[in-house]
Amino acid sequence: MTAPHIPVLLDEAIAALAVVPGALIVDATFGAGGYTRRLLEAGATVHAFDRDPDAIDAARRNPGIWPETGENPPRLVLHPRRFSEMVAALADMGIVRVDGIVMDIGVSSMQLDQPERGFAFASDGPLDMRMAQDGPTAADFVNEAAESDIADVLFRYGEERQSRRVARHIVAARPLTTTGALAGVIRKALGHRPGAPKDPATRSFQAIRIHVNAELEELEQALAAAELLLRSGGRLAAVSFHSLEDRIVKQFLREASGASAATASRHLPEMPREEPVTFAAVSRAIRPSEAEIARNPRSRSATLRFATRTDAPSRRRLAA
Ligand SMILES: C[S@@+](CC[C@H](N)C(=O)[O-])C[C@H]1O[C@@H](n2cnc3c(N)ncnc32)[C@H](O)[C@@H]1O
């Protein structure tokens, strides 16, 4: 039995949504349901998504813990799907507008702490890393991709400065089938001082996980979906766990709120803005308190940003 997931920035994320009883809220990343629980307590109806079938099954197996799934109509609807599909999933149920959307991007403690899911380098398990438990695994990628593609992934998604060196060692050590073997190869490539504060495999594991799950593309699509689905005055709250994700959220909100156009250049004549301003009241970056980090060290790299949807039309349509 693994330790349950401790929700990160919970009070802040829920406050950002300004939930009133009867509100319709999407929890894009159900996980262990920490956010959903609070939303239900505030009187919301929640449509919760998770691409990991284990997360949804755990809730379905426990109707005693989630009685709202059995209410008529249900106040909790579980969707075992990717959050990039939320527009279509909700449309199937006749829902085209919602009052709030929260996303708590990344992996859950349940995923990280189960060696058989293959996310962790601290314990040995099959080289898997798939949140949705389907499609190509991390092993498929490291064993089949070209060395240059592996290097690109490590550089782009792990900001690994020695990406070429690591990729060369990975290719030389193929086939790799376990997390322990991959971590060993990376440590050997980069030189690992036992007791060093950060394991050198951290960056590469993050990179491969992001690639296997197309995490950044998913995030971009979820933000676009939020723009389509939120009613005027509706709230978006996004918690991210590393700088690549936070950059995407920050850039999206800058563009959506017109901030990037206003600051584009002081030296060029002002251009009329072509795109509507779809979000306003964009928050600053909110980070966990010292007390939260002490209580839950996994929260230390989290960042929350939130904003309010305006009444302007959405800037883009989602690809069908
Ligand atoms: C950090 S956990 C969320 C924890 C949750 N807020 C809680 O309090 O228990 C992230 C969850 O999002 C899910 N997830 C990540 N990417 C997803 C995507 N593209 N679509 C749907 N779920 C996703 C993961 O499977 C994981 O269960």
Q: Does this model's pTM top 0.85?
A: yes
In this structure, the residue with its CA closest to atom 2 of ligand 1 is 108
Our answer on whether the CB atom of 130 is closer than 6 Å to any ligand 1 atom is no
Average pLDDT, the chain: 93
Q: How far apart are CA 78 and CA 117, in angstroms?
A: 22
User: Cβ distance 285 to 304 under 8 Å?
Assistant: yes
Residue 126 lies in a domain: yes
Query: Is residue 220 domain-shared with residue 99, that is, in the same domain?
Result: yes
Q: Which atom of ligand 1 is nearest to the CA of 33?
A: 9
The answer to whether position 219 is within a domain reads yes
Question: What's the confidence (pLDDT) of residue 270?
Answer: 62
- CA-nearest residue for atom 27, ligand 1, is 31
- The parent domain of residue 257 ranges over 10-109+215-309
- Give the Å distance between the CA of 29 and the centre of ligand 1: 4
Give pLDDT, residue 269. 66
Task: Say if residue 141 is in the same domain as residue 225.
Answer: no
How many angstroms is it from 140 CA to the middle of ligand 1?
23
Query: Is residue 3 domain-resident?
Result: no
CA atoms within 13 A on the CB side of 181: 17
Shared domain for 79 and 140, answered yes or no, is no
CA dist 69 and 93 (Å) reads: 15
Same domain, 221 and 101: yes
Instruction: Mark which of 213, 238, 255 sits at the end of a domain.
Output: 213
Q: Pick the last residue of a domain from 160, 185, 213.
A: 213
Ligand 1 atom, smallest distance to 4 CA: 9
> b vs e for 180-219, b when ≥16 Cβ sit within 10 Å of the residue's Cβ?
bbbbbbbbebbeeeeeeeebbbebbbbbbbbbbbebbebb
pLDDT for the residue numbered 216: 97
Residue 277 lies in a domain: yes
Listed residues 175, 192, 213: the one ending a domain: 213
Q: Residue 318 falls within a domain, yes or no? A: no
- Per-residue pLDDT band at 84 (split at 50, 70, 90): very high
Q: How far is the CA of 319 from the centre of ligand 1 (A)?
A: 23
Ligand 1 binding pocket mutation candidate from 9, 30, 117 (most atoms within 8 A of CB)? 30
The upper half-sphere exposure of residue 48, i.e. CA atoms within 13 Å in the direction of its Cβ, equals 31
In a domain, 320, yes or no: no
pLDDT tens-digit series, residues 244-289? 999 999 999 999 999 875 555 666 666 666 789 999 999 999 999 9
Rounded distance from Cα 201 to ligand 1 centre (Å): 23
Do 135 and 163 lie in one domain? The reply is yes
Would you say residue 320 has pLDDT above 80?
A: no
Q: Answer yes or no: do 176 and 304 share one domain.
A: no
pLDDT given at position 272: 62
Kindly state whether residue 5 falls inside one of the protein's structural domains: no
- Asked whether 34 lines ligand 1 (CB < 6 A), one says yes
Cα(105) to centroid of ligand 1, in Å? Answer: 6
pLDDT tens profile 159-197:
999 999 999 999 999 999 999 999 999 999 999 777 777
Residue whose CA is closest, atom 18 of ligand 1?
Answer: 82
Does the beta carbon of 36 sit less than 6 angstroms from any atom of ligand 1?
A: no
pLDDT at 229 over 70: yes
Residues 219 and 105 in one domain: yes
pLDDT value at residue 1: 44
Q: What is the dihedral of CA 244, 245, 249, 254, to 10 degrees?
A: 0
- Cα distance between residue 284 and residue 88, in whole Å: 31
Q: What is the CATH number of the domain that holds 15?
A: 3.40.50.150
State whether the beta carbon of 258 lies less than 6 angstroms from ligand 1.
no
* Closest ligand 1 atom number to CA of residue 239: 1
pLDDT in tens, 139-154: 999 999 999 999 999 9
